[in-house]
Amino acid sequence: MAAQYFREYETIREIRGPLLLIEKVSDVAFDEIVEVETASGDKRLGRVLEVGMGYAVVQVFEGTTGITPRGTKVRFMGKTMEIPVSEAMLGRIFDGLGRPIDGGPNIIAEERRDVNGLPINPAARAYPEDFIQTGVSAIDGMNTLVRGQKLPLFSGGGLPHNMLAAQIARQATVRGEGEEFAVVFAAIGIKYDEALFFRKFFEETGAIKRAAIFLNLADEPAMIRLITPRVALTLAEYLAFERDMHVLVILSDLTNYCEALREISSAREEVPGRQGYPGYMYSDLASIYERAGRVTGKKGTITQMPILTMPADDITHPIPDLTGYITEGQIVLDRGLYNRGIYPPINVLMSLSRLMKEGIGPGKTRDDHGDVSNQLYAAYSRAQELRNLAVIVGEESLSETDRKYLRFADAFERKFLSQGFYENRSIEETLDIGWDILSILPESELTNIKDEYIKKYHPKYKSGSSK
C-alpha cells in the first residue's frame, strides 16, 4: 500500500462485539490498520475486515469496552499491520502486538514487515532433513524432529506440556553443529503462572539472551491473540531468512487463538462450521503453521512447536483435528500415562513425525533406527491389543508369546518412555534401550527388522552370550 497518510473519522454507527461499523469514510483499504482513540484518550489498534463505498467494518484487537459511538476517533493509518524487526529483539520481552514491555529501549527497526507475511513459494522450499536430538526417547527414537519442521504438542489441561516444551527447548541440538537455536516464544492467552514458568526457565538456563518473548496473557484482550503468533513468526522469518539463524518458535496455546477466531466469526454472523468454529479455520491456521521450514539459498530455518490443549482431551475436536491436518505430525500427551506417573506421558501410537524418514538413518542417526522404530510401534500396538484382551479372557488364556508382549509393554513404558526432566539421552542410548526391551520378544517376532541389524545390535549377538 503506497499511501502513508492517515484519515480520521468520528462516525461510528454501530458497535457489535469486537467490531465497529464506521460510516462516511472514503479511500479506506481492505486490511488497513486502524487506530481507535476513545474519549478518554485510550488508544487501541484494529484492522479493516470489510470495506464498501462509504463504510468500513473494523475489528478492534484490544476490545470495544468503553468505546462510545460519539467522541471516539477512528484513524485509518494507510498501511497494513507491520512491526519493526531487528536482531536486537532477542533477549527482550514484548506484548502481544510486538511492543516492548520490559522497560528496555524501543526497537530500532532494521526493517518493517507486514505481520501477515506471504506464502512461501513451494518451489523455493528445501525439504527439512537435519536431525534434531531432543534427548527425549519417545521423540528422538520414534517421532524424530527435524530442523524446519512444524511439530505441535497436543495436550490436555493440567498435563506437563510446558515442561516438555521447555525440556526440548533446553536440550535440542543438531549434532555436529555447535550452534544453538534462537527461540521465539509467543504466549497466546495463557495464564500468568505459565508465562512465568517459561520466563524463569529462559532466565535460569541463560536462554533468555537468544530468546524473544511475546506475551498475550489470559486476562488481556482476546482479539490480540489473532495477531500475536503472526508478530512472533514475522520476527522468526526475519531472523531465519535475513539473519541466517536457526529459530525455534514455541506458540502456546493455539486453543486460545482458535477461540478468539470463533468469537470474531460469530460477531460477523458468519455461517458457523463444526462446533461453531468458522469454516475457514483450516486456512487461517495454515497461514500460521506453514510459516515454518527451510528455503533454498538461505542458511536459517524455522522450526515450529505449537502447543494446544485438546478440549475434553478429544483429538477429533476441530482444533487438534485441523492442526493435525496441517502440521507435520503431532506429539500427543496422554492422561492415562500421566496418571500412572510416567513422564513424559507421550502416547507414541497417536503421535507422528511425518518428516522423520529424511532425518534418520546412517550418517544422521544410526542405520537400524527406522527398523527399530517400526518394530517398537508394531510390538507396542500388538501389546496394547493383548492388554485389552487379557482383561476379558484373562492372562492365562494368552499364549506364551503373547504374554511376552505384555512384559514388553511394561518395559517399554518404564524404561523407554519414562525419563527425567533433566535426563538428556543420546540417540544411541535411546536405540539401545529399544533393543534391550525388544529382546524380551522371541527373535522370530522381529519381522520389521533386517537380519543384518539383528546380528549387529540385538543384545543376544552383541554380548556374545546366547540365552
Residues lying near ligand ADP in the complex (CB under 6 A) = 352, 354
Between 155 and 373, name the residue whose CB sits nearer to another protein: 373
Does 461 participate in binding another protein (rule CB under 8 A)?
A: no
- Piece of the chain touching another protein by CB under 8 A; list 170-178, 200-208, 216-224, 286-294: 286-294
In the chain the first and final C-alpha atoms are separated, in Å, by 75
Nearest partner of 161 among 148, 175, 151, judged by Cα: 151
What are the C-alpha distances in Å from 168 to residues 173, 265, 291, 425, 431? 9, 35, 20, 12, 18
Tell whether residue 434 is a contact of another protein (CB under 8 A): no
Closer by beta carbon to another protein, 268 or else 415:
268
Please report how close the Cβ of residue 143 comes to ligand ADP at its closest, in angstroms: 10
Q: Which does 370 bind (CB under 5 to 8 A by kind): another protein, ligand ADP, none?
A: another protein
Cβ–Cβ < 8 Å for 439, 459: yes
Closer residue to ligand ADP, CB minimum distance, 354 or 456: 354
- Check binding of 466 to another protein (CB under 8 A): no
Count of other CB atoms within 10 angstroms of residue 397? 10
Q: Which three cell numbers stand for residue 404?
A: 511376552
Q: Measured from the CB of residue 297, what is the shortest distance to another protein in angstroms?
A: 8
Of residues 402-421, those binding another protein (CB under 8 A)? 402
Q: Kindly state whether residue 119 participates in binding another protein, applying the rule CB under 8 A.
A: yes
Q: How far is CA 318 from CA 260, 283, 350, in A?
A: 14, 13, 17
Query: Would you give the distance in Å from CA 111 to the centre of its chain?
Result: 26
Site for another protein in 208-237 (CB under 8 A): none
Determine if 447 is a binding residue for another protein (CB under 8 A).
Answer: yes
Q: Which does 255 bind (CB under 5 to 8 A by kind): ligand ADP, another protein, none?
A: none
Residue 387's binding partner among another protein, ligand ADP, none (Cβ under 5 to 8 angstroms by kind) is none
CB of 249 to ligand ADP, least distance (A): 21
440 binds another protein, rule: CB under 8 A: no
Length of the chain (residues): 467
Q: How far apart are CA 305 and CA 330, in angstroms?
A: 9
What's the maximum distance between 2 C-alpha atoms anywhere in the chain? 88
* Residue partners of 134: CB distance under 8 A and separation at least 6: 140, 145, 167, 168, 171, 172
Which of ligand ADP, another protein, none has residue 6 at its interface (CB below 5 to 8 Å by kind)?
A: none
Is residue 130 part of the contact set for another protein (CB under 8 A)? no
The least CB distance from residue 265 to another protein, in Å, is 10
273: CB partners within 8 A, 6+ apart:
279, 281, 318
**Exposure letters 93-105 (e unless 16+ CB within 10 A, then b):** bbbbbbeeeeeee
Site for another protein in 344-363 (CB under 8 A): 349-350, 352, 354-355, 357
Rounded Cα distance, 96 and 104, in Å: 16
Q: Which of 374, 423, 440, 456 is in the footprint of another protein by CB under 8 A?
A: 374
Contact in structure between 351 and 331 (CB atoms under 8 Å): yes
The verdict on 123 binding another protein (CB under 8 A) reads yes
Which residue, 317 or 425, has its beta carbon nearer to another protein? Answer: 317
Of the candidates 41, 105, 122, 363, which one interacts with another protein according to CB under 8 A?
Answer: 122
Give min distance, CB of 456 to ligand ADP, in A. 23
Residue 233 CB, nearest approach to ligand ADP (Å): 23
